[in-house]
Amino acid sequence: MTLGLGTLRSMLFVPGDSPKKLAKGDGAGADALILDLEDSVAPSQKAQARELVPAYMAERPPGARSSQLWVRINPLDGEYALADLAAVVAASPDGIMLPKADGPAEVQRLSYYLDALEAQAGLAAGSVGILPVATETAKAPFQLGGYADAGLARLRGLTWGAEDLSAAIGASTNLDARGEWTLTYRMARSLTLLAAHAARVQAIETLYVDYADDAGLRESCRRAREEGFTGRIAIHPAQVAGINESFTPSAAEIDHARRVVEAFERAAGAGVVGLDGKMLDRPHLTQANAVLAASAAYSRR
Ligand code: COA
Ligand code: MG
């Protein structure tokens, strides 16, 4: 993927019906807030959230935002989604998170709605991005490969979720005896990772539920990043620092990446070089360039 300035490490969920939590979002240090209208908001509170969230965004117009402001709407096939979109788009969200997305065709439908709502609000065409939660229905994992060739210009990333998928398939657990994801969820996660890279967008790791366990979060983030995820969902402000730090290249990684690039420069034209007694070929150079691009993007924050 190309790591631009818009690349997101941490995306913090904030329940959209809570003025107190919305106010806390400003200082959380997240690359993005996800102002939630879906599952963290009870049906009786949906209407209130639909007023609070656009008001919050309107008070923080693009250019005056300390974090990107995304909105998680309700599922597209349910009773709330169109009213959600009609309420929030004029306040210029940086993007819409689409839960329980069945696949690229549904994201395309959302994109058409956004075309119309952007035009109505006088926003630049295509300015609102989309991040589907791409594994929350039984159909969804089978559609993941389709994101790469669906021509979805608004697609900024793919993320995955285990809890709704469990509910969708009648599973009473998604963890094995050691507390690791069972095969179904590991498979959904891996396919999301591959699909995001195939579509050249961000691969966003799912949330870490134990928000008091900072060491566990950091270890889990380290592994996710080593596997190719570039950012993560947060559910509590205390998780933001650990996520940001885990997904930012360290000084040692940057130093190593520079040395890899230099080794290839010295051996101009060579497909393979040696460094510190180890063989390096083109994939190592690609990886080193990705580390340097990420580092440059984040140091401009
Ligand atoms: N965004 C902004 N502020 C938050 C927050 C969040 N996601 N989670 C907690 N806070 C605030 C609390 O309001 C509290 O503020 P205070 O110090 O002014 O009282 C402070 O941070 C510390 O919170 P804490 O007491 O540790 O947690 P809590 O019991 O208030 O809340 C949760 C725990 C899980 C309910 C809460 O973190 C939350 O709502 N998370 C988001 C859930 C969500 O959106 N889920 C949808 C995706 S699955
Ligand atoms: Mg959910």
Ligand 1 centroid from CA 175, angstroms: 24
From the CA of 164, the nearest ligand is 2
Residues 35 and 175 in one domain: yes
Ligand 1 centroid from CA 24, angstroms: 9
Residues 257 and 201 in one domain: no
Tokens, residue 184: 């179904």
**What is the position in ligand 1's atom list of the atom closest to the CA of 38?**
46
Which residues form the domain of 215?
A: 10-248
Residues 171 and 263 in one domain: no
Residues 125 and 266 in one domain: no
Tokens, residue 157: 């990333």
Select from 53, 136, 236, 240 the residue to mutate for testing ligand 1; criterion: most ligand atoms less than 8 Å from CB: 236
Ligand 2 centroid from CA 136, angstroms: 8
* pLDDT score, position 2: 47
Q: What average pLDDT values come out for the chain (301 residues) when binned by 10 residues?
A: 67 98 97 98 98 98 96 98 98 98 98 98 98 98 98 98 97 96 98 97 97 98 96 98 95 95 92 94 93 84 65
* pLDDT score, position 160: 98
With the CA atoms of 158, 159, 161 and 164 taken in that order, what torsion angle do they form, in degrees rounded to the nearest 10?
-40
Ligand 1 centroid from CA 162, angstroms: 20
- Number of domains, the chain: 2
pTM of the model: 0.94
* pLDDT score, position 211: 98
Residues with CB under 6 Å of ligand 1 are 12-15, 20-21, 24-25, 36, 39-40, 207, 235-237
* pLDDT score, position 260: 96
Q: What are phi and psi of 181, to 5 degrees?
A: -55, 140
Tokens 């791409």 identify what position? Answer: 134
Ligand 1 centroid from CA 248, angstroms: 24
Give the residue among 72, 81, 146 at the shortest CA–CA distance from 108. 146
Nearest CA to ligand 1 atom 5: 236
Helix ranges (H only) for the chain are: 19-25, 46-58, 81-88, 104-121, 140-143, 163-169, 183-198, 214-227, 240-246, 251-266, 282-299
Residues 73 and 216 in one domain: yes
Residues 62 and 203 in one domain: yes
Q: What are phi and psi of 92, to 5 degrees?
A: 60, 60
Nearest CA to ligand 1 atom 29: 236
* pLDDT score, position 6: 59
Q: What per-residue string of b and e applies to 261-296 under the rule 16 or more CB within 10 Å gives b?
A: bebbeeeeeeeebeeeeeebeeebbeebebbbbbbe
Residues 243 and 256 in one domain: no
Residues 175 and 286 in one domain: no
